[in-house]
Amino acid sequence: MNSMLSVLEDTFAEAFKMYGTRLVITAVNEQWAMHAAKCITGFATSVIGCGCEAGIEGEVERTLDGRFGISVLIFSMSKESLEKQLLNRIGQCVLTCPTASCFNGLDSEDKLLVGKKLRYFGDGFQMSKVIGGRRFWRIPVMEGEAVIEEGYGVTESVGGGNILILADSVEHALYASERAVSSAKCINGVILPFPGGVVRSGSKVGSKYKFLHASTNTAFVPQLRAHTSGSLPSGVRSVMEIVFDGLSLVAVKDAMRLAIEAAAESEGVLKISAGNYGGNLGKYKIYLREVMEVGNHA
């Protein structure tokens, strides 16, 4: 723990309140379930430009229809925007995918009635069935029928938990990031929404250009060291960021702890930091050293 603290900056990650849901996508086999899951989570790295943040959570051992299943998590800034994303993504990515069906995977009294709206695609030939108090819509399609659950649970969630890995080379920064991502993925209820779980274009709030709300995080761009007020440690030549979205704060902290442990043990890592905005924007302040202390005593 003491050696890890030597590379762990005494700072915090500033995270935000979001709303999240879990979908369980099933299909005739793994290939087609994965096609639908990859499609529905596409172009969903950041709400800044994508409207939502989404990712594949993992395989589901037991599904309602007994077929191969994959769970995905989707997050947005409000219930209204999340419902819009679900309506578009289930309609365009699951309803269109051969043999795929979509079920609610989150136990919550608060539901988004997306299937209730998608049923109209059946043009009056759709049928419903209620099992155990849950309503499912059977929508006729050319391949056969798509089963779409009527309601999807929604809960207040956490988005934007993050760590910054500062290394002496691009190769070492990427290797440490890959190890961190692999470790963090074992935590249920968390996704890392960027490509491969890693983002190189970390951002700050604001820009010299008035029409931009966000721009490159200049304080952590090594080649701009001489032009900014940032204080990158000597020898840092590459920085990678890992962003964590989760259905709970506990899950995000657990994933961050595992990622930090894996990155800190990697060759060439000089410092592990986090991105924040002075604590003025996000609801949650996740202090890196507190995350590690909790894990050390768990």
Residue 88 parent element (H or E): helix 79-89
pLDDT, tens digit, 9 for 90 and up, residues 47-65:
999 999 999 999 999 999 9
In contact, 157 and 47? CB cutoff 8 Å? no
pLDDT tens-digit map of 275-293: 998 888 889 999 999 999 9
Tell me the average pLDDT across 110-139. Answer: 97
- Whether the CB-CB separation of 41 and 56 falls below 8 Å is answered with yes
Measuring CA to CA, which residue among 166, 193, 168, 113 is closest to residue 272? 166
Any idea which residue has 């649970």 for tokens?
Answer: 153
Report the CATH fold assignment for 20-155: Alpha-Beta Plaits (3.30.70)
Assess whether the region 2-15+157-297 and the region 20-155 belong to the same CATH fold.
Answer: yes
53-60/111-112 β-pairing: unpaired
Calculate mean pLDDT across residues 141-160: 98
Give the contacts of 103 (CB within 8 A, at least 6 positions apart).
23, 24, 25, 26, 63, 64, 65, 136, 147, 149
The pLDDT assigned to 213 comes to 87
- What is the pLDDT averaged over residues 191-205? 95
Q: Report residue 295's pLDDT band, with 50, 70 and 90 as the boundaries.
A: low
Q: Is it the case that residue 2 has pLDDT exceeding 50? A: no
CATH class for the domain made up of 2-15+157-297:
alpha beta
Percent of the chain with pLDDT over 90: 90
**Residue with more model confidence, 294 or 220:** 220
- pLDDT level of residue 230 (50, 70, 90 thresholds): confident
Q: Is the pLDDT of residue 3 over 70?
A: no
**Phi, psi angle pair for 254, to nearest 5°:** -60, -45
Domain positions in the chain are 2-15+157-297, 20-155
Q: State yes or no: pLDDT of 37 exceeds 90.
A: yes
User: Average pLDDT of 157-170?
Assistant: 98
Average pLDDT over residues 185-207: 95
Overall average pLDDT of the 225-239 stretch: 89
Residue 145 burial (C-beta neighbours within 10 Å; 0-12, 13-18, 19+)? middle
Q: pLDDT value at position 296?
A: 60
